[in-house]
Chain A
Amino acid sequence: MDAIILQILNGLDKGSAYALIALGLTLIFGTLGVVNFAHGALFMLGSFCAVTLNRILNLSHEVAVPGETDFLGNPLMREVPYVYEWFGEATGAAIIDWSVPLAILLAIPVMGFIGLAMERGLIKHFYKRPHADQILVTFGLAIVLQEIIKYFYGANPIPTPAPEAFRGSFDFGLLLGFDANTILYPYWRLVYFGFTVFIVAAVFAFLQFTTFGMVVRAGMADRETVGILGINIDRRFTIVFAIAAIVAGLAGVMYTPIISPNYNMGMNFLVLSFVVVVVGGMGSLPGAVLAGFVLGILESFASMPQVLDLLPGLNQIVIYLVAIIILLTRPRGLMGRKGVMEE
């Protein structure tokens, strides 16, 4: 039982990342009709916002350490971050320690700008082109973004830890009446799940309870009619693209303590996120979130040794297997709407 609870928690955690990326993908597809293969790269760029802020906060000057030498026998120089000098060592260390949550403040404007620049500079020229063209251009853009990041940050993963306060594990076992240390779950992963729930709720509330959201939803349902009513729906859709980029970026920022960021991390999520979108139903926001969590949990269960002993290799195919079954039984996905991608 404890193993099952742990895998459910793992699945919720994996599903959180899938759901956030798929949510952004669905927003873009539902509004602009664009299949954005650069969305994984936006997730990666978000995580590098955290890396960048961490590096900025760690900017240092060198101070010679008396009596010690480096590997070449030269006087050993120790780096002292400027924030230590500006705010004192204790406050400076705390600021660096909290660099990942603080990176949210950096990622929102940066990702919003990147989203706007992508949409206005490139994507808008492909609205009326076939989906194959959109996939090619956005995939190419993803590779360009990856290579830019690799040029500046290298190919090696870059450790970016969570704040010290969140580095331990929470003992779910004690809470549920099991022995101590049977169901340990890292605090930061719980934070990530909570953060996902908050972002998903915020996006839904924004679309559901604001005038802007109402117009966007109307535009998703019938773009032409909204345009005839004199509303500049294109401008709103551009803002939706920026919001989707921010959501992907924030998902990336908060993911950095879970996996050390590297330039290729977005690609690992991209394909799975597309499967999530298709399984959830093209254009369905609740479907994307639901499918994200369902597939995350199934993937986690398929990784259990007991399952792998019975069905070796299931962990590598389970998501695609489930996608095939769902699409055979429900061709529009779990919560797909009639008419989307069916013309």
Chain B
Amino acid sequence: MTKGTLSRRGLLKAGAVTGAGLALPTIFTSPAAAFTNEPTGDSVTLGFNVPQSGPYADEGADQLRALELVAEHLNGGGDGGMMQTFSSQTLEGNGIMGKRVEFVTGDTATNTDRARASARSMIEKDGAVMITGGSSSGPAVAVQALCQDAGVIFMAGLTHANDTTGKDRRANGFRHFFNSYMSGAALAPILADQYGTDRKAYYLTADYNWGYTTEQAVQEATESKGWETVEKVLTPVGAGDFSSYITPVLQSGADTLVLVHYGGDMVNSLTNAVQFGLREAQANGRDFQIVVPLYSELMARGAGPNIKGIIGSQNWDWKLENQLGAKYTGTNAFVRSFGEKYGFPPSQAAHTVYCQVMLYADAVNRAGSFNPCAVVEALEGFEFDGLGNGPTLYRADDHQCFKDVVVVRGKENPENEFDLVEIIEVTPVEQVTYPHDHPQFAGGELGACNAGA
């Protein structure tokens, strides 16, 4: 009788032979993927990574509605939306390159770690070939870097900080939404025109990256028009009650308050400012004014009547085509599709992600490949129209879209809960265009595209 023993060397040999045996079929049968998550079947999977929980969950929900709508349109459902008005006519309602569009959703929770984990899961487990969505710059920058490393395309959602296409730009990332610099450049001439060129401004700024870049952009732009900056105060995110930051404003000698806040903070700080009588106050012999550089329809709804008369900027507005004509064609087509499906007009957050998916789909069709590097090439320097913003350029140098910027004011007598802002002017793209190496965007390099695999 012999006693069976297994030596270390024997175990290694057995393991190697077994491993080779198991791997053999795939070595000979699977073609090596040319890039990450190359679609091989009759469908392609896109990753919709939006905030479904956390403070921007409502904005995320609106993005998700638009993303479901664009997938439906790409697959030939509904009325086609902006596919009918898009200047590039490669999309025919048969998916992308003939492959049916499927999607998976994730929750960024407006948290950098959660957003990355969710995007990673969509790429690694679900095989997403492109990630889009999001409502904040922190998660956008993080997910963009992840997509760059993973070798998939990132079509950013609502992200306004300069850094997304500035110091943190990546070759695999593209931004349709406008940025802090553009807000400053669009607002400054209108603010000077409406309120004068010798205003004294007081800034309350959210203490994180988006706050810093927006404060800098608005400050530089308004100072170039003759404004003076009296004070800049950083406020903690989620401060709740901003009264202790608001009350020193009137005693500072300032006659204008710039609220560089977004989301709930904007709603609360603006509400507090109105409660403390800043809207009715007089300073330096004139009416005190409040400016909110970045507007959002959902925030305007949260602020209620306090938003009346407050000037800010937007990437897009659902009334653009009706009020300013055919230059903004696509707007009504999108509003009709969205409105008939959901019963209310879309937000700019919904619009930007809808455009991003359509732009991605078109780029793939034009490139004839899902390879991220081919998509990058197709999108770089791409000029298009018919997506609601007028003629637009996806600049090759930084992957930022250049288009007109909408300047709005809180409406005095809204007719319904969606009619909260009025368009006071559209700043032409020439006025908001900057060199890609502008100091506010310095320190970043696109690098080379990464196809992964």
- Residues of chain A whose beta carbon lies under 8 Å from any beta carbon of chain B: 2-3, 6-7, 10-11, 13-14, 17, 68, 70-72, 76, 147, 150, 154-159, 161, 167-169, 181-182, 184-186, 188-189, 257-260, 262, 264-265, 268-269, 299-301, 303-305, 308, 312-313, 315-316
A260 touches B339 (CB 8 A): no
- Chain B positions within 8 Å of A, measured between CB atoms, are 53-58, 61, 207, 231, 233-236, 238, 240-241, 243-245, 247-248, 250-252, 264, 267-268, 271-272, 275-277, 281-282, 298-299, 301-306, 318-319, 335-336, 339-340, 345, 415-416, 418-419
Q: When the two chains form the complex, which single residue of B58, B252, B306 contacts A159, counting CB atoms closer than 8 Å?
A: B306
Bound-state Cα–Cα, A6 to B250, Å: 11
Question: Is there an interface contact between B236 and A14, defined as CB atoms closer than 8 Å?
Answer: no
The winner among A11, A14, A70 for most chain B CB atoms within 10 A is A70
Interface of A is mostly: mixed
Cα distance, A68 to B298, chains bound together (Å)? 25
Residues of B close to A168: CB separation below 8 A: 277
Write the nearest CB–CB distance from A191 to chain B, whole angstroms.
12
Complex contacts, A269 vs chain B, CB 8 Å? 240
Given A3-B251, A260-B304, 17 further pairs, Cβ under 8 A: A3-B247, A6-B251, A7-B244, A13-B241, A76-B416, A156-B58, A159-B304, A181-B282, A189-B275, A258-B241, A259-B272, A264-B55, A264-B264, A303-B235, A303-B244, A305-B233, A316-B236
Q: Which residues of B contact A313 (CB under 8 A)?
A: 234
A167 to chain B, nearest CB (A): 8
Q: Select which of B53, B57, B243, B251 is within 8 A of A14 by beta carbon.
A: B243
Q: Are A156 and B241 in contact (CB under 8 A)?
A: no
A167 to B245, CA, bound (A): 20
Residue of A nearest to B339 (CB): A72
Is there an interface contact between A10 and B281, defined as CB atoms closer than 8 Å? no
Complex: A2 Cα to B252 Cα, angstroms? 12
| Cross-chain contact B305 with A157 (CB below 8 angstroms) | no
Are A188 and B248 in contact, CB atoms less than 8 angstroms apart? no
> Do B275 and A259 touch (CB < 8 A)?
no
Please tell me if the beta carbons of A71 and B335 are within 8 angstroms of each other in the complex: yes
CB-defined contacts of A17 to chain B, threshold 8 Å? 241
Contacts of A7 in B (CB 8 A): 244, 247
Q: Which residues of B contact A14 (CB under 8 A)?
A: 241, 243-244
Which residues in B have their C-beta under 8 angstroms from that of A316?
Answer: 207, 236
A184 to B275, CA, bound (A): 10
Q: Out of B56, B271, B318, which one reaches A259, CB within 8 Å?
A: B271
Per a CB cutoff under 8 Å, which of A11, A158, A257, A265 touches B244?
A11
Q: Give the distance in Å from the alpha carbon of A316 to the alpha carbon of B236 in the complex.
A: 7
Taken together as a complex, chains A and B put the C-alpha atoms of A74 and B430 apart, in Å, by 37
Instruction: Point out the residues of chain B lying under 8 angstroms from A155, CB to CB.
Output: 53-58
Give, as a whole number of angstroms, the nearest-CB distance from B407 to chain A: 21
Distance between Cα atoms of A213 and B203 in the complex (Å): 50
Interfacial chain B residues near A169, Cβ < 8 Å: 275-277
* Docked complex Cα distance between A68 and B419 (Å): 14
Q: Could you show 18 A-B contacts with beta carbons less than 8 Å apart?
A: A2-B251, A3-B251, A7-B244, A10-B244, A13-B241, A14-B241, A71-B345, A154-B58, A182-B251, A184-B276, A184-B277, A189-B275, A257-B275, A259-B268, A262-B55, A304-B248, A305-B231, A316-B236
Tell me which of B57, B302, B419 contacts A158 (CB under 8 A). B302
B264 contacts across to A, CB distance below 8 A: 157, 260, 262, 264
A340 to B274, CA, bound (A): 44
A269 to B108, CA, bound (A): 24
Q: B271, A159: Cβ atoms under 8 Å? A: yes
Q: How far is the CA of A7 from the CA of B247 in the complex (A)?
A: 8
Within the assembled complex, what's the spacing in Å between the Cα atoms of A189 and B272? 11
The 7 closest A-B pairs by CB, nearest first: A159-B304, A155-B57, A303-B244, A157-B302, A300-B244, A6-B247, A156-B58
Chain A residues whose C-beta falls within 8 Å of the C-beta of B231 in the assembled complex = 305
Question: Least Cβ distance of A149 to chain B in Å?
Answer: 12
The CA of A181 and the CA of B231, in the complex, are separated in Å by 20
Bound form: Cα–Cα A62–B282 in Å: 41
The one of B233, B268, B419 in contact with A308, judged by C-beta atoms closer than 8 angstroms, is B233
In the complex, residue of chain B having the shortest beta-carbon distance to the beta carbon of A262: B264
* A71 and B302 within 8 A (CB): no
